[in-house]
Structure 1
């Protein structure tokens, strides 16, 4: 029994020592665990900050590339995609027919293809058309069908309003075009 008594006293004594030691051991564990968790948190935050900075730099770089590409596309003429068989130039699509038709038939053919006879807006466009059709004759979208001598483009804009006058001069030096 004495052994039991010692055991129980020892047991109680150990129990009471454990109860006394518990707060200090908890504090010791917390003093080790808290700094480690703070270090881990700081490491995670640093990693996230680095990732954010990296992605932010990538985003700024992509914004700059987008700005540059937009400027290039704005400055590029003729980047319009045309249907097969059509030629792109200056932001417009041109179809050079090989079928011989009169002006009205040509106009109607263009409309059936979701287009219209060409309206020439600049000397540069005229030069492009001339170089594309040197050996052939093509109709343009200018006519005086309603009133002889009053020239209208197919969109009903008067020739005088567009001031497009890039006609060939006759051998005698007179500007007698447009003509029929």
Structure 2
């Protein structure tokens, strides 16, 4: 088969695409055998998503991207699985600023204090040692709920963590309880290709 006969796209076939990333930009060269020319593209790489791109069902809150499940209550394990199906993970709220931004958003959306949401904290590995499922790090920021010592592992089976919609607090609960949940996706990179005429 001659090179010019292989054309599954019906037009110019890109045989070689080379991206040379350097300093946040790159050049992409495409060889198009049908017209036997080289085409030059400038590629710009950005952290995050430009505001004109729709990220539904995820919303940007501060510097993070979240999906907040508002209808279907599930147990903690099902919530973790649902997030993974969206190429995300249960949220890991690792500092006060992140918690404040999320609570502010939830209040603005009309959530109530008795709306509970699973997040990724748990002590399923070792009782009393809470870690974030999403990244394996210890929960160093942990504003536990209640006047008494928390987490209390009430009933001997509270191993998963949930947050309150309108209070900057978390609580341990039985992983089998049905709750709403919050997924978090890492900040993506986006690319912009610009054609450069010769």
Please report the TM-score for the alignment, with normalisation by the length of structure 1: 0.48
Q: Which has the higher contact order (CA 8 A, sep 6+)?
A: 2
Q: Which has the higher helix share?
A: 1
Which of 1 and 2 has greater Rg?
Answer: 1
Please report the TM-score for the alignment, with normalisation by the length of structure 2: 0.44
Q: Which has the higher strand share?
A: 2
